[in-house]
Amino acid sequence: MSKNLLIKVYAEETTGRVDIIGNISEWNQNNAIEMRSKCEELKAAGTTKCHVYLMTGGGDCFQANEIVNILIDVFGSYTGEGGALVASAGTYIGVRASSFIMAKNGQYMIHKPMGGAHGNETEVENYLELLKNMTVTYYEAYKDKLKKPEADFKAKWDAGDFWMTAEKAKEWGFVTEVKGDTKIDQTTASMIKESGSPIEAKVNDTPKNTTDMDVKAMATLLGMDASSTEDQVNARIQANAQKAAGYDALKAQQEQKDKDDKEAKIKAALDEAEKDKRIKADARANWQGLLEKDFDGTKAVLDSLQPVVKPLSAEIKPSADGTGATYQGKTFEQLQDENPEALAELEDKNPEAYKTLFADWKKRNRIS
């Protein structure tokens, strides 16, 4: 079994076939857009059913979920079939099938979705929430198929990798029917062992036959002539891998550039707004969060704000009853009791007016 993901979409009379072989990781040429397009072409051409073949050690739980979404969106439902190994994210595709047949010598493994996050605390928290939601999605899918008590499954689920033979998977309800043995060569047996399986995978295929079969299968999946040599197939795989690596590098560079550009634009917008006194420094973090979510909309609102101006009247007037001086209609002692902030602002912005008001208070209270 190849570690590279190979997805083949084709028709067998009125049945659409989707073969998923290898690790469900970066899709390369078999990306989601291409897969959906091919499935829609089959549906438009008159296919009435869909059957999925799985031979996978798992991979990205989010991509497996997207594969299921495409299959259900296009075909409404699908049946499934498993080869020598259906594990991890691959089992989610299996349990979402209306029925699932598995080779008798095949192995089936379930565990909680896993992943890793990189970034600041907000990005890590967001990814953790996303992973928790996906864990619930996977758990509910397995629970819907259970033929044994949920408590027993929950214990297995929480313990880690849960390996089963095809017969055991059927007893649990994840497999509908067990068929005859499938061919397992030494490479596939080693791969199953390396994936952590405690169940021995017995080799039942000779290297010569396996090599011929693998070369033809890979040539067909790569869009090459079935008579292509092993060297030609390997050259195509290497070329595709190089293209994928180059694409991934360019994609990462562009994403980082876009991120840096956005951060620079946000900083410039906030610096300008703060300089123009349209926002206060303590409100900057809130505005930054809004700009990160919707830069253009928030920038328009930010630009429409008027500068924050604190009016200050330095005029000292006599009180209504003529008994003393006032500022904003209040005597010195009234401001002390009712609006000390205004008094402090007066002292800071217009010390001469403050001295006049304070002197009046001292005079009225006969304080030298």
Evaluated on CA atoms 66, 71, 74, 77, the torsion sign reads negative
Percent of the chain topping pLDDT 90: 48
Mean pLDDT in residue range 75-84: 96
pLDDT given for residue 212 in this prediction: 59
H/E element holding 228?
none
Structure confidence at residue 352 as a pLDDT band (50, 70, 90): confident
How far is C-alpha 127 from the geometric centre of its chain's CA atoms?
A: 6
Supply the DSSP symbol for 327.
B
pLDDT given for residue 135 in this prediction: 94
- Which two structure tokens, joined as six digits, stand for 26? 């970066």
pLDDT given for residue 322 in this prediction: 67
Picking from 190, 186, 188, the residue whose alpha carbon sits closest to that of residue 207 is: 186
pLDDT given for residue 46 in this prediction: 93
Q: Residue 211: is its pLDDT beyond 60?
A: no
Q: Residue 3: is its pLDDT beyond 70?
A: no
Q: Residue 206: is its pLDDT beyond 70?
A: no
Give residue limits of the domains in the chain.
6-208, 317-364
pLDDT given for residue 102 in this prediction: 97
Give residue-wise pLDDT tens across range 317-346: 776 666 778 888 888 888 889 988 888 888
Q: Residue 96: is its pLDDT beyond 70?
A: yes
Tell me what the pLDDT averaged over the chain comes to.
88
Picking from 129, 109, 106, the residue whose alpha carbon sits closest to that of residue 117 is: 129
pLDDT given for residue 266 in this prediction: 93
Cβ contact 63:92 at 8 Å: no
pLDDT given for residue 209 in this prediction: 47
Mean pLDDT in residue range 242-256: 84
Q: Residue 232: is its pLDDT beyond 90?
A: no
Evaluated on CA atoms 54, 60, 64, 66, the torsion sign reads negative
Mean pLDDT in residue range 244-273: 88
pLDDT given for residue 312 in this prediction: 47
Percent of the chain topping pLDDT 70: 92
pLDDT given for residue 280 in this prediction: 86
Q: Residue 69: is its pLDDT beyond 90?
A: yes
Q: Residue 31: is its pLDDT beyond 80?
A: no
Cβ contact 58:3 at 8 Å: no
Give residue-wise pLDDT tens across range 83-93: 999 999 999 99
pLDDT given for residue 55 in this prediction: 95
CA distances from 366 to 21, 39, 362 (A): 97, 95, 6
Q: Which residues contact 83 (CB under 8 A, 6 or more apart)?
A: 1, 53, 54, 55, 103, 106, 182
Higher-confidence residue of 1 and 175: namely 175
pLDDT given for residue 210 in this prediction: 47
pLDDT given for residue 27 in this prediction: 57
Percent helix, strand and coil across the chain, each to the nearest 5? 55, 15, 30
User: What CATH number does domain 6-208 carry, 3.40.250.10, 3.20.20.140, 3.90.226.10, 1.10.10.10?
Assistant: 3.90.226.10
Give residue-wise pLDDT tens across range 103-123: 999 999 999 998 777 889 998
Structure confidence at residue 149 as a pLDDT band (50, 70, 90): very high
Q: Residue 246: is its pLDDT beyond 70?
A: yes
pLDDT given for residue 227 in this prediction: 80
pLDDT given for residue 229 in this prediction: 87
Give residue-wise pLDDT tens across range 280-320: 888 889 999 999 999 998 989 888 888 764 444 446 777 66
pTM, entire model: 0.56
